[in-house]
Amino acid sequence: MIARALIVGCFALSALSVTAVAQDDPPAPEAETSLPANASALDRKVRLDRLLNRLATAPTPEDAKPYEASIDVLWNQSGSDTADLLTTRAVDLVAAEDQQGALKLLDAALEARPDFAEGWNKRATLFFLSGDYVSAMSAIHETLRYEPRHYGAWAGLGKILEQSGDDEKALAAYRRALAIHPHLEGLRKNADELEIKLKGEEL
């Protein structure tokens, strides 16, 4: 159940060319959050690359949290005011336990912005929660198509694969998530337990 809580937690949190990391102190997290409305796609990519670099090298979970929060902010900026508004309303409906209503709003958001990776991730989460793993996998594929570094999507993929009995592929997905976000809450323990299980089956 740890991974299920992790996936739901990723949904809740998101509602709120990798280079070497410089050795100087990182900037204050407040400087790394939202971009101005007129920011270009390149500005967004540069900011996101920097945050993901720092997330991958954060020494402790506490050090990682500001970068994770800032990445969530950027991932929730689709580039379309319409898609952003619909997604915000979808999150509100999830809080009100109206998953079908939330799904309809997310579908509309993705019509407005088909390359909105976080919109696809939220859609995957809703399908996961309803037990529709086939649709969840399809949405995860779209998430990773547009944002291959989406650690929440990799974690969700791993959980679905594990529950489907494909432990080797599940562990590979967990490792992909942890390579991007080494301190992703709960996932390290889940991956370690699965690795021990697989080694035991080999004996």
Domain of 165, CATH number, reads 1.25.40.10
Candidates 129, 170, 135; CA nearest to 190 is 170
Residue 111 in any domain: the answer is no
- Look at residue 13 and tell me whether its pLDDT is greater than 80: no
- The percent of residues in the chain predicted with pLDDT above 90, rounded, is 74
CA–CA distances in Å: residue 121 to residues 3, 7, 24, 140: 15, 10, 33, 6
Domain containing residue 149: 2-10+41-78+127-202
Candidates 94, 90, 87; CA nearest to 9 is 94
Residue 34 in any domain: the answer is no
Residue 70 belongs to what H/E stretch? helix 61-75
Query: Token match 């889940």: residue?
Result: 190
Tell me: the pLDDT tens digits for 105-152?
Answer: 999 999 999 999 999 999 999 999 999 999 999 999 999 999 999 999
Query: Token match 């594990």: residue?
Result: 162
Residue 61 in any domain: the answer is yes
> What's residue 47's pLDDT?
93
Residue 141 in any domain: the answer is yes
Tell me: the pLDDT tens digits for 66-94?
Answer: 999 999 999 999 989 999 999 999 999 99
Query: Token match 């070497």: residue?
Result: 20
The pTM of the whole model exceeds 0.75 = yes
Query: Token match 């159940």: residue?
Result: 1
**Sign of the C-alpha dihedral, residues 58, 61, 66, 68?**
positive
Average pLDDT, the chain: 84
Separation CA 116–CA 151 (nearest Å): 15
Residue 137 in any domain: the answer is yes
To the nearest 10 degrees (0 to 180), the angle between helices 117-130 and 99-112 is 160
The total number of structural domains in the chain stands at 1
Residue 115 in any domain: the answer is no
Contact 157, 137 (CB under 8 A): yes
Residue 89 in any domain: the answer is no
Residue 104 in any domain: the answer is no
Give me 163's structure tokens: 């529950």
